[in-house]
Chain A
Amino acid sequence: MFFAWMKEFWEYRELFFFLVWRDVKIRYKQTVLGATWAIIQPFFMMIIFTLFFGRMAKMPSDGIPYPLFSYSALLPWTYFSTSVSLSGNSLISGANLVRKVYFPRVALPAASAFSGLVDFSIAFFILLGLMFYYHVTPGFGLLLWPVLMVPLIMLALGIGMILSSLNVKYRDIKYAIPFFIQALLFVTPIIYPTSIATERLRFLLSLNPLTGLIEAFRATILPTREVDWRLLGFSVGITLVIFVLGAVYFRKTEREFADVI
């Protein structure tokens, strides 16, 4: 059954690409700064965090300059948070299409999840710039980033599928999403390193699938850190579970979207 689903999605792949392209185009049309918006969000967050957490609060950063410490995590985080927001709302914003056209509905949250990759790639260059500035030479670990993106995309899409189908039925989910993301920002070691957490807290943190992924993103480019493979494996496992749950729930409720939306 899953196979049939994939086959149908493959038939509609062109529509999917058009939807991604449309999302990206619309985001930057008529904006003066155009593509630089992709860079501004993680970059400015990094600056604010550096000022307030790094300098004022004197947050330790495991021996790495704080800006690099936070930016290397903010980059995948920004991709994740915008993708979840967008895909959570994708069915509702695409309600007109859902009511009038047949296509595999998953194309909508999926398109949102993938359109964020364009921003991600652009902001990635800032990361390279920062590394250059702080004399950190990228090792082979950098090649691991595309690989690490796979579970990250799956996590965003899995959560996106759940949220978007819930959103069709219960419209107040729309308001819960930003709150949910805000909360996630703090329970993921982006602002702070896991090293400052107690043993107990560290365990709780590891339950968050983002923890393992974000830490791995960080570790692969910074020479002083090692990838925590066990934690990463655990996060990927949870990601897979969420993805499957999301897919099943979405598939189950898909039939009623056009009636309820």
Chain B
Amino acid sequence: MSSVIVVENLSKQYSLGMLKHETMLREAVVNLVKHPFTRSHREKDTIWALKNVSFEVEEGEVVGIIGRNGAGKSTLLKLLSRITYPTQGRIRVRGKVSSLLEVGTGFHEELTGRENIYLNGSILGMKKREIQSKFDQIIAFAGVERFVDTPIKRYSTGMTLRLAFAVAAHLEPDVLFVDEVLAVGDADFQKKCLKAMDDLRVGGRTVLFVSHNMSAIENLCPRAIWIEGGEICQNGEAKDVIRAYLSLFADAQRSGHDFTKIESRGGNGMVRYTGIEFIDAEGRPNNLVRCGDEVRVRLHFHAREEIHQPHFGVMLYSDMGTLVTTFSTWATGLDVPNLSPGDGQIDFKIDSLNLMPARYYVTLWLSSFGGVKYDHLDHCVAMDVEPADPYGTGKGMGRNFGIVYVTGKWTYGGAPGQKLAGR
């Protein structure tokens, strides 16, 4: 099977002068008059958004593209979509290409849903006949049958998004480039998107998918490419690449067990968190946390002056960004009347950690009862909950069973005459 996408030594240079470049004709004219013999200095300030990127994609492969913000992922997609052109290197793509760099491109609010479907479909590369034949499916997918002839400026944001995605979901290109379009929308919408992406994979289309959603990438893409600083860092099995990427990311976070160096944080700083420790049932600091364990979360802080009625709070997020739980001195009832200036610590004892094995992110906040914000550290620590066996059956602990688990017991109201236990 020959490759459908071939990228050879692709490089893209942007001159910063292009961004600062004279954008007014009068400036250009003035410059010409003032310095008729010197070329402008834009050659000096350049950045390489992509440097010597090479890879191939076979027909039917679904490849995830991951990397930090600004790594060059979107630039790569733009180059592949022919929206912009390489400074060096070559790109070859075979087959009908559709690029989904944004959902709802070309939508105009004065036009009706029906009209926008045709317009957007055409922009995405569908022929009129194709749009006509899929029209009913599209409005059914979006759920806007009743409003199809109303101008979309009357639609809610959710409806517009669903409509835009409905059109995109009915594309049937040979090759599809998708750029982080799942970042918007509610959970329901995201589920629909993921299913549509999966259908593409099953349908044998070649897809390149840029996303920050690691679970989506892991579920949809057998292969992933990690781009960092404009270059390919790793290219291979998605699980491995994602693990490598996350560990780099988390290492940066893990040193955040010491928070004194973190600069970007909210609040006025009268009191600051300086560190966090997880202490196990034996009283030892232990980064290894398991389901069902008794864990003490110890927060270290430093107060610059005397603080009245502070409240400490911890929020746990799943890696999909869902807020799993919050525990705070305000909610669970510990009133600390005063903090003296200097270092201090406060513990929260979790009796039994009811979380499924996964990685969770910790956000810490510190405010006063009156509402003054002292400190806010968002997603500052990654907490890995390892599998354990709280049910004693060796079963039922895993990501696909959910975020939390509950402890309890089953009883079966069986033979007649037998009373149900616990009624």
Contacts and interface: CB of A to CB of B under 8 A. Distances in A.
Given A96-B106, A100-B105, A102-B99, A171 B23 contact: yes
B149 to A, nearest CB: 13
B101 interface: yes
B122 interface: yes
B183 interface: no
Interface in A71-89: none
B179 to A, nearest CB: 9
Interface of A: 14-15, 18, 22, 25-26, 29-30, 96-103, 166, 169-173, 176, 255, 258-260
Given A169-B23, A173-B25, A259-B18, A103 B123 contact: yes
Nearest to A15: B122
Contacts of A101: 81, 83, 99, 101, 105-106, 123-124
A26 B123 contact: no
B118 interface: yes
Contact of A170 (B25, B118, B127, B151): B25
Interface centre among B24, B81, B85, B106 (most CB of A within 10 A): B106
Contact of B106 (A25, A97, A102): A97
Q: Which A-B residue pairs are the 7 nearest by beta carbons?
A: A170-B25, A18-B122, A258-B84, A102-B82, A29-B110, A100-B101, A172-B24
A97 B108 CA distance: 12
Contacts, number: 73
Interface of A is mostly: helix
Given A101-B106, A103-B123, A259 B84 contact: yes
Contacts of A99: 83
27 contacts: A14-B127, A15-B122, A18-B118, A18-B123, A22-B119, A25-B111, A26-B110, A29-B110, A30-B110, A99-B83, A100-B83, A100-B99, A100-B105, A101-B99, A101-B105, A101-B123, A102-B81, A102-B83, A102-B99, A169-B23, A171-B24, A172-B24, A176-B25, A255-B84, A255-B85, A259-B84, A260-B18
A102 B98 CA distance: 9
B28 A170 contact: yes
Nearest to A254: B85
A15 B123 contact: yes
B25 A172 contact: yes
Contacts of B118: 18
Interface string B112-136: 0001001100111001100000000
Interface in B76-91: 78, 81-85
B51 to A, nearest CB: 17
A160 B127 CA distance: 27
A63 B18 CA distance: 57
A29 B85 CA distance: 37
A101 B24 CA distance: 26
Nearest to B28: A170
Contacts of A166: 25
A183 B384 CA distance: 72
Contacts of B124: 101
Given A97-B123, A260-B18, 9 more contacts: A14-B127, A22-B119, A26-B108, A30-B110, A100-B83, A169-B23, A170-B22, A172-B25, A173-B25
A50 B106 CA distance: 42
Nearest to A259: B84
Contacts of A260: 18, 21
A100 B14 contact: no
Contacts of B110: 25-26, 29-30
B335 interface: no
Nearest to B118: A18
Contacts of A97: 105-106, 123
Nearest to B22: A170
A260 B23 CA distance: 10
A101 B102 CA distance: 9
B23 A25 contact: no
B368 to A, nearest CB: 45
B39 interface: no
Contacts of B419: none
Contacts of B102: 100
A30 B110 CA distance: 8
Contacts of A25: 110-111, 115
Interface string B243-286: 00000000000000000000000000000000000000000000
Contacts of B97: 102
A32 to B, nearest CB: 14
Contacts of B146: none
B281 to A, nearest CB: 54
A170 B24 contact: yes
A90 B326 CA distance: 51
Contacts of B122: 14-15, 18
Given A100-B101, A102-B99, A29 B24 contact: no
Contacts of B85: 255
A30 B23 CA distance: 35
A172 B14 contact: no
Interface string B24-48: 1110100000000000000000000
Given A96-B106, A101-B83, A14 B25 contact: no
